[in-house]
Amino acid sequence: MLEMNRKFARTGPNGYFDIRVFHRSRRAKKDSRFLFKCGCCEGQLEVYYGGDSLEINGVMGSVENWRELLLPLLNMTLPGQEPRKRYRSRASKAKRSGATGKRLSRRAA
């Protein structure tokens, strides 16, 4: 069994290891990507994005396809877990409070 590297094996408040996130911007012919690494080992997930497509660990699909697959998983609640709270955006809150367009654009910036 591999020995755990204590430098990056940090647990979060939920008791799981924190996921390490790295971002690379577009360079020449290489697309932008996010690299997600496991908090306790060298397991990783690469997400390349550009235009209207996503490539997740070598599987290419449109953004809409990935949305259909992943959003239900992210919105699901586990037994004993409270339903997720849905927060309104700043713009919709400002509209309800009657803020003027000038104040609204300054707030959103």
pLDDT-based confidence at residue 85 (cuts at 50, 70, 90): low
Summarize pLDDT for 25-77 with one digit per residue, the tens.
Answer: 887 777 889 999 888 888 899 999 988 889 999 999 999 999 999 999 888 88
Query: Does 99 map to a domain?
Result: no
Cα of 44 vs its chain's centroid, Å: 15
Query: Does 94 map to a domain?
Result: no
Cα–Cα distance measured from residue 15 to residue 10, given in angstroms and rounded to the nearest whole number: 9
Which residues on neighbouring strands pair with residue 36, listed in sequence order? 21, 45
**Rounded to the nearest 5°, which phi and psi values hold at 99?**
-70, 145
The pLDDT of residue 42: 83
Q: Is the pLDDT of residue 1 over 50?
A: no
Query: Does 37 map to a domain?
Result: yes
Counting the structural domains of the chain, the total is 1
With 0.85 as the threshold, say if the pTM is over it. no
Query: Does 14 map to a domain?
Result: yes
Average per-residue pLDDT in the chain?
A: 77
Query: Does 95 map to a domain?
Result: no
Question: Contact at 8 Å (CB) between 62 and 69?
Answer: no
Query: Does 96 map to a domain?
Result: no
**3-state DSSP helix/strand/coil % of the chain, to nearest 5:** 25, 30, 45
Domain residues for 29? 1-74
